[in-house]
Amino acid sequence: MQKKRAISGVQATGSLHLGNYLGAIKHWVNMQEEFDCFFFLADLHAITIPQDPDNLRNSIYNSTAAYLASGLDPKKTTIFAQSDVKEHAELSWILNCMTPIGWLKRMTQFKDKAGKNQEIASSGLFTYPVLMTADILLYNADFVPVGEDQKQHIELARDIAGAVNRKFGKELLKVPEPLIQGNTTRVKSLRDGTKKMSKSDTSGHSRINLGDSRDEIVEKIKKAKTDSLEYISYEESRPEIANLLEIYGEFSGKKIETIVNSYIGHGFAKFKNDLAEIVSENLGPISLKYHQYSSDKGFLQQTLRNGKEKASKTALQTICKIKESFGFLNL
């Protein structure tokens, strides 16, 4: 039987962090046997906000290294850079012409990212979800494994696929399903439990990066925001503690209730010490491999070249079909 296909990506800006890992990449690693997987570096998405060229280049390499260090295997999974497969930009234009502005105005990520500066934000930031739709539809993906924050974008991709299919009266594009897995679909910032952990947060202490050393992990967890209460409990009114408990649960495999019970009578110092130990034990091997891979540029380039070749074959088939349907000559 043919395997179902999965596609996803991470924006190639800055370092990959614990949120990217627990919300997305960890699940991708577990999907590699059962699914036909395409996981890419979203570098075209990265330039929706200004990027320094050297930083962008480094981010693409480092994010590839983080994918490999986390356990993505280029023999099983197609790993490539979005900008290397030109059909992403091509399909994105066509889909832009199928997307009412009103649909894009509803996207909460644009409002969050542009904030008060909507008038001076790039139009690329506004049409970002259409490029993301092209990324998905180009590969006829069945599933899109992402963290909670991307759900709205996948809904939009479904709507756009539906609009194209209605126009032509047939299932030209597969309507994809979001796949939001696990208990940590939204890891919060270590500095503010109401915000998600993000690459774009200006505070380095707000996130744990996949390449962080043991000492950095210990320090960030020690300094993680808590509150004035002395005891550990899992409550909505204590978002910072809840976040730390969720991370603890994810890495230890223990139920949150069991963890809370084991800290009755203890304060934050012991809890944070133990958490730092568990996190660095789990991330240690990833961090080590990350540093090995990121210093082997030749291997990273070869991995991305092989991925580009494989991805381009599928992408070309879809774009030809779409262009023909729309009335382009495709000479």
Nearest partner of 19 among 199, 154, 144, judged by Cα: 199
Tokens in use for 163?
Answer: 């609009």
SS3 144: strand
Who's near 147: CB < 8 A, 6+ residues apart?
Answer: 19, 20, 23, 24, 180, 185, 186
Q: Please tell me the count of residues contacting ligand ADP according to CB under 6 A.
A: 18
Is residue 157 within 8 A of residue 137, CB to CB? The reply is yes
Who's near 64: CB < 8 A, 6+ residues apart?
Answer: 41, 79, 81, 293, 300, 303, 304
Q: Is residue 23 involved in binding ligand ADP (CB under 6 A)?
A: yes
Helix 268-294, helix 214-223: angle, nearest 10: 140
Q: Is residue 20 involved in binding ligand ADP (CB under 6 A)?
A: yes
> Of ligand ADP, ligand TRP, none, which one does residue 144 interact with (CB within 5 to 8 Å by kind)?
ligand TRP
Of 91-99, 113-121, 170-178, 197-205, the window that binds ligand ADP (rule: CB under 6 A) is 197-205
Q: Which is nearer to ligand TRP, 12 or 275 (CB)?
A: 12
Of 9-17, 250-258, 278-286, 322-330, the window that binds ligand TRP (rule: CB under 6 A) is 9-17
Q: Is residue 78 involved in binding ligand TRP (CB under 6 A)?
A: no
> 237: number of CA atoms within 13 Å, CB side?
3
Is residue 73 within 8 A of residue 37, CB to CB? The reply is no
Q: Is residue 209 involved in binding ligand ADP (CB under 6 A)?
A: no
| Catalytic residue flag (residue 199) | yes
Catalytic, out of 113, 220, 272, 289: 113
Catalytic, out of 196, 272, 289, 308: 196
| Catalytic residue flag (residue 196) | yes
> Of ligand ADP, ligand TRP, none, which one does residue 135 interact with (CB within 5 to 8 Å by kind)?
ligand TRP
Which residues of this chain interact with ligand ADP, rule CB under 6 A?
10-11, 19-20, 23-24, 146-147, 149-150, 185-187, 196-200
Q: Which residues bind ligand TRP (CB under 6 A)?
A: 7-11, 42, 45, 132, 135-136, 144, 146, 150, 153
Catalytic residue IDs: 113, 196, 199
